[in-house]
Amino acid sequence: MADALENDAFTDGLEAAKAGSPAGTHEATDGPQASAAEGSLPPAPDGGAGAEGAGAGGGPAPTKVAFVRDYCVRARGASCERCVLACPVGAIAFDEDGNASVDGDACTNCGICLGICDGFSSTRVTMADLYERLRRIALRGEDVVLTCKENVFPGLEPAANVVVLPCLATLSPEFWTLALAENIPVKVACDLSYCADCDRAGEVAETLYSHAIETAEKWTRKRVGFIDTIPEKEQFIKDLANPVGVDRRSAFTNLVGDVGDIASGKRRLRNSEVLHQFYERRERARALTRLNLGDAPDVDFVPEGQVKKTLMPKRQLLLQAIERDPSIAKRVNVALPRIDCERCENALACVGACPTGALSPLPEPGCVQLDARHCIGCGLCVDACPHEAIELVATTAEAFLGEDKEQS
């Protein structure tokens, strides 16, 4: 049986869009045409002098994308190749063991692979950290504006509520869904026409971020906002003379606060490059720690008789969104294994094949149990069962609602 991911309609559409749509003729999907979804990860620091640029010093270019084997179904024997199809420059390849590698010389650090698959992560900041940035902006009472690097021209200084990404396609449908479920006021600011000529991500990016936003809007029944211009930093005197979005009393209060910050040096500190670099180093250290990319030994201990469970990051985002708004679940289509216990002979091949630990043996012989929240519908258990006792069936994420809330 083919991998369930290969049968995904979006994968088929992505392959067709990448292979068939000539430059300049790609049609945008229905919806606002003036902007694109923002939220992708900023490029990581190069990590040392002389590292900037492809092949600096005669060696391979520094890679800012890490491959996380535990999150890749290809490494467990699946035939999934979503990341290869999505990469606009063909920088991703697999070895005989199914491990992915990124060609640092070819990679443009667009971040598309991060949005398409959990098996890739930035070495600078995780999606969880990025989402916390959005929440912090929203908690300040501001709109979160997302844009991409292609839309930020020299001399433009985006406002503090603007998140600039290498490419909008870095964000997955699950990321957008959680933002909408939490009522974060998200707006996209970019010129859609730049996608066709983008050297970083190419036309495929438009297909990906359009799909991500439309899917999230369908699941949540809410809308991502679109604006024509990127908010810029403004002199605070302007805010008092012509306040936008606030009354004059609020504008004057903000002015007094700014004057106090200037007098105390806080404004200079807040806007200093040194402080921004500090935050970048701190987030990068967090990302490296979470990815186990440091010098600490990799400890993988699971008590005897138990199954290691891996909750995929995108699934965790989706579960959080459903927790905020349970009505989302009925609109999210998923594929889950159905086990015929009469045919099951406890070979447990399915348990060994499951990449997330969603399947585990029951205390008494006769069948196995499924943790739907951890299952990603990859279909590896179907192929592994020697008795053909498992089949994938279409259902909705409502199957997650009856599961234990505990996540490992």
Topology of 332-400 in CATH? Alpha-Beta Plaits (3.30.70)
Say which residue, 56 or 208, is predicted with more confidence: 208
Q: What is the model's pLDDT at position 65? A: 85
Determine whether 300 is exposed, middle or buried from the number of CB atoms within 10 Å of its CB (0-12, 13-18, 19+): exposed
CA-to-CA distance for 168 and 146, rounded, in angstroms? 8
DSSP string, 16-38: HHHHH--TT-PPPPSS-SS----
CA-to-CA distance for 152 and 163, rounded, in angstroms? 11
pTM of the model: 0.73
What Å distances lie between residue 327 and 222, 316, 321, 400, CA to CA? Answer: 12, 17, 10, 12
361-371 pLDDT, tens digit each:
887 767 888 99
pLDDT-derived band at 375, boundaries 50, 70, 90: very high
Q: What is the model's pLDDT at position 174? A: 97
* pLDDT over 70 percentage in the chain: 65
- Three-state secondary structure along 43-58? CCCCCCCCCCCCCHHH
Strand partners, 338: 391
Which pair of tokens denotes residue 122? 């930035």
- Residue 40 DSSP code: P
Average pLDDT rounded to a whole number, residues 382-393: 94
Q: What is the model's pLDDT at position 46? A: 33
The one-letter amino acid code at 225 reads: G
Which of 162, 224, 230, 158 minimizes the C-alpha distance to 194? Answer: 230
The one-letter amino acid code at 151 reads: N
Which of 76, 75, 70, 64 minimizes the C-alpha distance to 100? Answer: 75
pLDDT-derived band at 218, boundaries 50, 70, 90: very high
Neighbours of 140 (CB within 10 A): 10
Which of 50, 66, 67 minimizes the C-alpha distance to 58? Answer: 50
CA-to-CA distance for 78 and 360, rounded, in angstroms? 20
- Whether residue 165 contacts residue 201, with contact meaning beta carbons closer than 8 Å, is answered with no
pLDDT-derived band at 402, boundaries 50, 70, 90: confident
Is the pLDDT at 85 greater than 70? The verdict is yes
Is 191 in a helix, a strand, or coil?
Answer: coil
Residue with tokens 């045919």: 343
Which pair of tokens denotes residue 184? 């974060």
CA-to-CA distance for 215 and 220, rounded, in angstroms? 9
Instruction: List Cβ neighbours of 220 (8 Å cut-off, separation of 6 or more).
Output: 177, 180, 181, 321, 325, 328
Strand partners, 334: 395
317-355 pLDDT, tens digit each:
999 999 999 999 999 999 999 999 888 888 899 999 999
